[in-house]
Chain A
Amino acid sequence: MSHYPEGDALLAQINGRHRRGAIWRTLFLSATIIAVLVLIALLYNVVNSAFGLTAVENKVDPASLAVDGVPLEELSKEQLVNILAAHISTGLGRRLERDQLFFETQTVFEDPALFNELCASAEPPAACALPARSQEDVYRLVLERVVEPNVVQTWSLADSVLHRSAVLAQAQQEFPDAEISFRSWLTPAFITTPQSSEPELAGVRTAILGSLWVIAITIAFSFPIGVGAAIYLEEYAQPNRINSLIQTNINNLAGVPSIIYGMLGLAIFVRVMEGFTSGAALGLMDDSTTANGRTILSAGLTLGLLILPIIIINAQEAIRAVPGSLRQASLGLGATKWQTIWHHVLPNALPGILTGAILSMSRAIGETAPLVVVGASTFITVDPSGPFSKFTVLPIQIYQWTSRPQAEFRNIAAAAILVLLVLLLTLNATAVYLRNRYSTRMA
């Protein structure tokens, strides 16, 4: 016979239990709030680095390069080429000219006869096939090679705003020659300029284009196959050994670490199928690159295999949610199995399938590890021209910039992260929009 408390002891016990309840409730709530705080800290950390005061020292003051009071960026292409010619060595000029000509009809650094000879040789330089450089392009070269801006120090956004005067005083003292200005590392130019070894001139254009190419191939490969497999498993598969093997296998594949897919891609797409993925088998090999199978196509197919299980599982759920009465009504009216699926099951499952596909797409856009293994290029400045080009993607770019010791690379990594997050946000918003739009229409 156990003794239960009575009277005051009972009251005390109940109060104690309630107090314990309140304490734990607060603990549970604070755990949840920690998750929210982490998200805020993460975003704050990125924004904090993407904007802020910078001290820049120029080797040549751009104001001194102005001609007749016209500022540097508004000069004509001819004037800019003259500035370039006056400041850089002929050797460097020749190299730049072999990459791309300055004028359609004449050469500046190179001997015209020699250039024609080079173009006729077995390995013509890139300039022979390309149009001449634009004014913008030459302006960029002048900045990069003549002005040579060098970021000597950067401050975070918080410091720049809260301790502005202290930062300015410190900068005046330490870098008397530097020009101090508030800088947003995320600018329109950051999105439209290609990669550069100078952080202040670097952009993510090649990385964005690379990401879009890779993702297009990923979806083109995995969407039809994924939906097909889901239809098979939900509508056709009899409960026998092979079909349950397929189902278990898909569930297990969804849990395989992404880096393993990268190794599979390296072994299969890059090495075994090199002839196909480098374009050599189709006679489409990109001459300007030596990608050796480490191409956009290999990357896209690798990510395709990676998101295939996710697409299948999501599509299966969407198809399972279509009421069976719909199928029976269609079959009862004499439709064949495929007609029933194509005209009734799929249209009703479409919002769910699309949402799943878009969510797996945003997973693929953020994937880094498998693409490092497949062999993303570390430095390319040329836009990808097709599935057989070398590639880099946004997350790879972020990874490389983050791994550099110099502070400015952290700043552009932060700016690139913002670009990536906006891209993902757009995709997810599209998924929500599609889901809402189609589900109201079907209802």
Chain B
Amino acid sequence: MESHAALTSETATIMNADSAANSLSKRRRPGETLIQGFLFLCGVISILTTIGIVYELGKEALLFFRTDGVTLTEFFTSTKWQPAIGDFGIWPLVTATLMTSAIAMLVALPLGLATAVYLSEYASDKTRSILKPILEVLAGIPTVVYGYFALTFMTPLLRSIFGDGVVQIFNTASAGIVVGILIIPLVSSMSEDALHAVPNSLRQAAFGLGATKLETALKVVVPAALSGITAAFVVAISRAVGETMIVAIAAGAGPKFTFNPFESAETMTGHIVRISGGDLSYDSVDYNSIFAIGLLLFFMTLSLNMLSRRIVTRFREVYE
């Protein structure tokens, strides 16, 4: 009897413990919820940043378009940007931006892709381990240093090649070439990742059919990685469009509607830096105008980045 009673009490204890365990797992933990809430807020800050960018740029841009004498039509059609006499046509700034970006892509596209192909298809492990860190160093150098390089090295170089009379001290060619150098590491590392993702069986198959290394690389591997490479180019264009310090230092001050790469011209970013670097009063048209330019720049880079992501997801070849 006694032992039986002891047994039941023991069972009861176990059962009690069991139910306690149940309640433990179901217990409300305000600390945990609080932490989760805080972490969620951290994530939300990024959304607030985007809203802040769109709201603030939009608000000031709206003020700009409400100013007397400024119209949307003029903004998008006129080829003169002279705030002093009330001319607000965005084209001189846009053409300068497009010119530096185009020159940059002419430099970065072939060099970046060739570097990627070499590193991924040809280089031995040892060569890779030397070359990759060098590219990373290039990518880590601040853009203001590249600006100095453009002004004190690239411009004199261009002038000695083409003549002082042809090349102005500030010119879009020099700025564009250096922007291209700046984005070589970006193009090459993104393209190399894409080339690397191509499965080895494809290369083996090509070799087995008698293709040379070059034929394998250019006719099999590169086409297979094309979506990733294209995405890299699009991101690189967006980077070139948004690049600021190099063009601010080397491309010149003063908006000019020109397609001559050896003349000075001011890009959108260069203009924003020059205007905001001076004494700026918050109620002036100048202040509002840089936000309108900024908004356009934001949408240009945003659509390029979204396009790049779309290319990757839409056209990616998936290999089993």
- Chain A interface (Cβ < 8 Å from any Cβ of B): 17-18, 20-21, 24-25, 27-29, 31-32, 34-36, 38-39, 41-42, 45-46, 49, 224-226, 228-229, 231-233, 236-237, 243, 245-246, 249-253, 255-264, 266-268, 271, 305, 308-309, 312, 336-338, 362-363, 365-369, 372-373, 375, 395, 398-399, 402-403, 410, 413-414, 417, 420-421, 424, 428
Contacts and interface: CB of A to CB of B under 8 A. Distances in A.
Interface in B282-308: 282, 290-291, 294, 297-298, 301-302, 304-306
A46 B281 CA distance: 37
Contacts of B272: 259, 263, 373
Contacts of A42: 141, 145-146, 149, 153
Contacts of B23: none
A312 B118 contact: no
Nearest to A337: B32
Interface string B115-154: 1011100110000000100110110111111111101110
Interface string B240-262: 01111100110000000000000
B209 interface: no
B71 interface: no
A232 to B, nearest CB: 4
A31 B111 contact: yes
B60 A369 contact: no
Nearest to A271: B282
B273 interface: yes
B103 interface: no
A253 B290 CA distance: 20
A369 B269 contact: yes
Q: Is the interface of B mostly helix, strand, loop or mixed?
A: helix
A25 B215 CA distance: 11
Given A246-B44, A366-B142, A46 B122 contact: no
A253 B138 CA distance: 23
Interface string B215-247: 100100000000000000001001101111100
24 contacts: A17-B212, A24-B218, A28-B118, A29-B122, A31-B111, A31-B118, A32-B118, A35-B138, A35-B185, A39-B138, A46-B148, A46-B149, A249-B50, A257-B242, A257-B269, A259-B272, A260-B57, A263-B57, A263-B294, A267-B56, A366-B143, A368-B245, A395-B142, A399-B147
Contacts, number: 244
B131 A312 contact: no
Contacts of A45: 148-149, 152-153
B259 to A, nearest CB: 24
A398 B248 CA distance: 13
Q: Of residues B41, B185, B213, B272, which shows the largest number of chain A Cβ atoms within 10 Å of its Cβ?
A: B272
Listed from nearest, the 7 A-B pairs whose CB atoms lie closest are A257-B242, A366-B142, A228-B42, A31-B114, A232-B39, A28-B118, A369-B244
B152 A410 contact: yes
B138 A246 contact: no
A264 B143 contact: no
Given A35-B115, A367-B142, 6 more contacts: A32-B131, A38-B181, A236-B36, A252-B306, A267-B57, A420-B142
A253 to B, nearest CB: 6
Contacts of B41: 228
Contact of A369 (B35, B122, B245): B245
B49 A28 contact: no
Contacts of B118: 25, 28-29, 31-32
Nearest to B112: A31
Contact of B53 (A41, A255, A256): A256
Which has the most chain A C-beta neighbours within 10 Å: B31, B39, B52? B39
